[in-house]
Amino acid sequence: MCLTAPAAAASDGICASAGLRATRVQAEARIDHDDRTYSKVFSTVTLTVPMSWTYADELLLSKDSDAYRKAMRCLARGSMSGLDTRWEEWRSAEPEVTPTADPTGVRTSRDEWLRVRLVAHAWVDQEGSFPVGPWTLDVGKAHWTLRLTPPAALKSAWWEQVTVDPGGPGALSAAADGVAPDGDTAPGTGATAPRAGTDKGRSVLVWPSDTAVGAPAVAVRVEPSWPRSFSAQDDSSPYAAFDAAGGLLWTVALVLTLWYALKVLPRHGVPDPVEQRAVANLRGWSLALLVVSVVVRGPEIYLGAIGAFGGDASEEWDAQAVHAPWAWLTSAVAGAVLLYFARVPRRLALTGGVLGAGAVVPAVLWAVGGLDPGRFVRPGSPGGWTVAAVVVAGVCSFALPLLGGAAAVRRLLVDGGLRPNRRARPRPWPLIGGVLAVVAVIGVCYLVASERDWNRASWLSPHMGAPDYGVWHRSDLRNNLLWFTPNARWWWFAMLWVPTGLAVLAVLRSRVAGTAADSLARRGPQGADRLLLLLLFPVMAAMDLGVYTASGAFVWCWFFLYLVALASVLRLTRGRAVAARPLDRSGEPLGTALSASHRAGLLDRARRHRELHAQLRRLDQGQPDEGTSRRDLETRLRRLHRWRTAAGRPDRLPSGVSVVDAVLALGPCRTWWENGVKAARLTQPIALPLSAGLVWTNQLRGEALTGTLYDRLGLPDVLTQLVLWQVGYAAAGFLFGALWQELPGRRGPVKAIPLALAYAAPIGVFALGNWGLGEEQTALAFGAMAMLLVLTLTGLMMDLETFRGEHPYWRGRLSLLRSVYQMRYMSVQLAWVLAQAAAVVTVLQYLADNGGMPPQFGGGGR
- Per-residue pLDDT tens over the stretch 549-586: 999 999 999 999 999 999 999 999 988 888 888 888 88
Q: How many domains are there within the chain? A: 3
Both 541 and 406 in one domain: the answer is: no
How far apart, in whole angstroms, are the C-alpha atoms of residue 773 and residue 173? 24
Domain boundary among 231, 252, 279: 231
In a domain, 743, yes or no: yes
Rounded to the nearest integer, the mean pLDDT of the chain is: 86
In a domain, 623, yes or no: no
Residue 714 pLDDT more than 90?
yes
Residue 307 pLDDT more than 80?
yes
Residue 178 pLDDT more than 70?
no
Residue 464 pLDDT more than 90?
no
Both 482 and 523 in one domain: the answer is: no
Both 307 and 418 in one domain: the answer is: yes
Amino acid at 522: R
What range does the domain containing 60 cover?
Answer: 12-231
Of the two residues 606 and 524, the one the predictor is more confident about is 606
Both 449 and 528 in one domain: the answer is: no
In a domain, 120, yes or no: yes
Q: Residue 609 — very low, low, confident or very high, per pLDDT cuts 50/70/90?
A: confident
Which parts of 462-501 are beta strand (E)?
Answer: none
Q: Summarize the confidence of residues 636-644 as an average pLDDT.
A: 83
Both 243 and 223 in one domain: the answer is: no
Both 142 and 272 in one domain: the answer is: no
pLDDT reported for residue 633: 79
pLDDT tens digits, one per residue of 806-860: 777 777 777 787 878 875 566 676 777 788 887 787 776 666 444 456 666 544 4
Both 356 and 401 in one domain: the answer is: yes
Rounding to the nearest 10 degrees, give the CA dihedral for residues 351, 357, 358, 363.
160
The separation between CA 625 and the C-alpha centre of its own chain, rounded to angstroms, equals 60
Both 156 and 248 in one domain: the answer is: no
Domain boundary among 443, 458, 493: 493
In a domain, 624, yes or no: no
Of the two residues 236 and 175, the one the predictor is more confident about is 236
pLDDT reported for residue 8: 37
Distances (CA, A) of 208 to 113, 176, 216, 217: 22, 12, 10, 13
Both 263 and 195 in one domain: the answer is: no
In a domain, 712, yes or no: yes
Both 242 and 262 in one domain: the answer is: yes
Q: Summarize the confidence of residues 728-741 as an average pLDDT.
A: 96
Domain boundary among 173, 205, 231: 231
pLDDT reported for residue 179: 43
Q: Which residues of 425-446 are buried (b: 16+ CB within 10 A; e: fewer)?
A: ebebeebbeebeebbeebbebb
Q: Summarize the confidence of residues 83-105 as an average pLDDT.
A: 87
In a domain, 648, yes or no: no
In a domain, 653, yes or no: no
pLDDT reported for residue 107: 60
Q: Summarize the confidence of residues 181-197 as an average pLDDT.
A: 44
Both 328 and 182 in one domain: the answer is: no
SS3 content of the chain, % helix, strand, coil (to 5): 55, 10, 30
Both 164 and 239 in one domain: the answer is: no
Q: Is 345 helix (H, G, I), strand (E, B) or coil?
A: coil
Nearest CA to 284 among 375, 438, 408? Answer: 408
Q: Residue 314 — very low, low, confident or very high, per pLDDT cuts 50/70/90?
A: low
In a domain, 197, yes or no: yes
pLDDT tens digits, one per residue of 25-74: 999 999 999 889 999 999 999 999 999 999 999 999 999 898 999 999 99
Burial label for 466, CB within 10 Å (0-12, 13-18, 19+), is middle
Residue 189 pLDDT more than 50?
no
Q: Is the omega angle on the peptide bond into residue 95 within 30 degrees of 0, that is, cis? A: no
Cβ count near 61 (within 10 Å): 16
Residue 340 pLDDT more than 50?
yes
